[in-house]
A and B are shown apart, each in its own frame.
Chain A
């Protein structure tokens, strides 16, 4: 690889992009607008329902009245999932947890100290328990900030924006170069396909990372979302994701000559990813085939990893399977893209 040739193409591509103000503006404005829209839409009080997780079978003698209250949604969980359920309580995904106590006649409950709903539910529970039985009830608490929809959504939006920018920015651009004959002109120079493709990848990579950082900071300022994990871990995940999505774009662009056809293929790739990678809603509880298909999408891995880091404080080691999947997909796509690349 000749560095001078690589840098020449890289710098020309950077200038071309940075001077195309409308495209660049859209790249930054779109995700911020979406986040703004959602933060307004979900800034209200949310659902007025109380969500109580009932773990195992707490004795009916004490809890019967409480468990039959109106406007309380009850979610049954097996006794073995107590830990999981408490984690959900921590993240405000349930408001209150009630479970069998250490002996069958006892009852335990947990609430999140930062949740007003938990406070009310505790009062309701204690109010419904006879004075004589109060000693049979044990209290536990957890602490944790509420994870709002916006907190959950932000990783999906960052990744989705990266996907569009990577696939269309790389795929479409190279197909346009080919269609107009610019690639043919480059073929007449000593430039190699590898140098050309590397320049395209790096030009888009710094742009994606740069725009993602700006969007991240901008959205954080606007809606102050939760970030529990390490910034470095998140950065690694986003770079791995960007590389993988750019390589997918390169495969599309490797040999297609028509912009219309490329547009069709790119839409065919982006739309399923947008809906089946968990950008907007959790895939939990979806049919098995959906979950399996989603594992084939790079976007799923980017979002799952970034979301775990941001909302659960996961470490890089914990999301390593996702990063590994992204790296593997990158290698496969780059190999295919380089092998079938055509100047003309």
Chain B
């Protein structure tokens, strides 16, 4: 299989605001048709990074290349953009809002088809400011797709949605991936990145601290499985400690990371601990983030 062409390239991008270096030398390449995730806690520099690509924020230094050429004003007509928070005009219906944005572009998507894709039939004629959170995000996605863009930027698109609405939104992104759209997504939900992204970059303090396909990253950093015992149990036997690579006493339980699962389980059974509430899980991107930065994603 041939490597797809790089559609977007970011080289050594920097941006500082008074008293904070928001983005500090970020570089990455995105192949066409892939979903690229920028992960990190609030304030990591994700939004600043994609707003520099979108032309909303001017970088202090660095290069931005779209299809090998420096990004200029024509990029706006080829990109679809969904901000973290967008306010719309009052008193306009959902349909009128999407139409208004579509009319700002020379090239327009087939809007009726777009409404079907985003499953907007039931609220097309409702007032745009009065739809539910999930409907609103689907409408904003339709706005971002109104110019039938080659590349789509989604900044925390599911923040604040309930789990069902989030799943529905993920299904929608999968459909867009199937149509070959390149997607740049920021999120602080690790499971979202895992579910949607072909490649991720983890950001913290304005820098990319790890990059790769989610599974590859997990394999690279973890060859372990995590056993979780409920909190407040008796001390672990020395055999168990010897088999563990890492033991973390976290509020939701005692985590034992090990690459020798069978032996560790046998040692646990031999030490006659109550294992009725034992959980076994493989490492997640949350663990990876914790491992890389020493802090929990949501708290930071």
Contacts and interface: CB of A to CB of B under 8 A. Distances in A.
Interface in A184-198: 184-191
Given A16-B90, A187-B56, A188-B55, A8 B100 contact: yes
Given A185-B83, A190-B104, A20 B90 contact: yes
B96 interface: yes
B91 A16 contact: yes
B81 interface: yes
A282 interface: no
Interface string A1-13: 0001101110111
Interface in B94-113: 96, 99-101, 103-106
A180 B129 CA distance: 12
Given A16-B89, A182-B89, A190 B103 contact: no
A187 B51 CA distance: 11
Nearest to A186: B104
Nearest to B101: A189
A7 B86 CA distance: 22
Interface in A164-192: 177, 180-182, 184-191
Contact of B96 (A4, A12, A177, A184): A12
Contact of B100 (A9, A177, A181, A188): A9
B105 A190 contact: yes
A187 B91 CA distance: 21
B92 interface: yes
A188 B81 contact: yes
A16 B83 CA distance: 22
Given A5-B103, A190-B77, A20 B88 contact: no
B85 to A, nearest CB: 6
Contacts of B55: 187-188
Given A15-B96, A189-B101, A190-B77, A20 B91 contact: yes
A177 B106 CA distance: 24
A5 B101 CA distance: 9
B226 to A, nearest CB: 41
B96 A185 contact: no
A182 B91 contact: no
Interface residues of A, number: 25
Contact of B85 (A181, A187, A188, A344): A181
A19 interface: yes
Contact of B92 (A4, A7, A16): A16
A74 B228 CA distance: 105
Contacts of B88: 182, 185
B97 to A, nearest CB: 8
Contacts, number: 70
Interface string B62-77: 0000000000010011
A188 B71 CA distance: 13
A12 B100 contact: yes
Q: Which of A4, A9, A12, A177: most chain B CB closer than 10 A? A: A12
A5 B104 contact: yes
B92 A182 contact: no
A185 B86 contact: yes
B91 A19 contact: yes
Nearest to A196: B104
Interface string A307-344: 00000000000000000000000000000000000001
Nearest to B55: A188
Contacts of A180: 87
B54 interface: yes
B256 to A, nearest CB: 47
B105 to A, nearest CB: 6
Most buried by A among B56, B85, B87, B99: B87
Contact of A8 (B56, B73, B87, B104): B104
Nearest to A191: B104
Contacts of B85: 181
A121 B87 CA distance: 70
Contacts of A189: 76, 101, 104-105
A185 B88 CA distance: 9
A76 B92 CA distance: 64
Given A16-B89, A185-B83, 9 more contacts: A4-B104, A4-B106, A15-B96, A19-B90, A182-B87, A184-B86, A189-B105, A190-B104, A190-B105
Interface of B: 54-56, 73, 76-77, 79, 81, 83, 85-92, 96, 99-101, 103-106
Interface of A: 4-5, 7-9, 11-13, 15-16, 19-20, 177, 180-182, 184-191, 344
23 contacts: A4-B103, A4-B106, A5-B103, A8-B99, A8-B103, A9-B104, A11-B100, A12-B92, A15-B91, A15-B96, A16-B91, A19-B90, A20-B90, A180-B87, A184-B56, A185-B81, A185-B87, A188-B79, A188-B81, A188-B83, A189-B104, A189-B105, A190-B106
List the 5 closest A-B pairs by CB distance, nearest first: A180-B87, A8-B103, A19-B91, A189-B104, A188-B81
